[in-house]
């Protein structure tokens, strides 16, 4: 009779250890999934912000005009020919936001301008996404 009670306790202990191992493994899996989900959301938002800036790029014939297009409530500023706009994690304009869209504009000729658009994390300085764009102006560029 004593062997049966001891066997029961040993089996119960092993079962509890298996459940604890499964719970710990699932906790790690769900934690990694949440982190990857947040990173994917950030990347998707960064791509959207870069695309919006790329669409505004040909509509502006100068860096000052580009600043006017990207500035929403004081979230953007101009430094030389580089426009920087800030956004929070929800992609809404915020001067103190965690994301920075940096648009470097270069006049290639009288009729064309090229630019590099980068989305950078403000807290780490890491580049999340970048793209190159070109705009053609048949009537000439305003310098």
For the chain, residues with pLDDT lower than 70 are 1-2, 140-143
Are residues 104 and 114 in contact, defined by beta-carbon separation less than 8 angstroms?
no
pLDDT in tens, 6-44: 888 889 999 999 999 999 999 999 999 999 998 888 888
pTM summary value = 0.75
Tokens matching residue 68: 């006017």
The torsion angles phi and psi of 117, rounded to 5 degrees, stand at -115, 125
What order do you get walking across the sheet with 99-107 strand by strand?
76-79, 82-87, 99-107, 112-121, 127-136
């Amino acid at each position: 009779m004593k062997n049966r009670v001891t066997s029961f306790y040993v089996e119960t202990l092993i079962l509890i250890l298996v459940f604890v191992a499964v719970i710990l493994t699932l906790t790690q899996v769900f934690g990694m999934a949440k982190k990857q989900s947040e990173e994917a959301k950030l990347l998707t938002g960064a791509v959207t912000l870069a695309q919006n800036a790329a669409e505004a790029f040909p509509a502006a014939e100068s860096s000052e005009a580009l600043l006017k297009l990207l500035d929403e409530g004081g979230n953007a500023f101009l430094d030389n020919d580089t426009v920087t706009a800030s956004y929070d994690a929800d992609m809404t304009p915020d001067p103190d936001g965690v994301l920075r869209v940096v648009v470097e504009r270069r006049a290639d000729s009288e009729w064309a301008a090229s630019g590099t658009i980068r989305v950078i994390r403000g807290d780490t300085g890491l580049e999340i996404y970048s793209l190159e764009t070109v705009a053609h102006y048949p009537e000439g560029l305003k310098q």
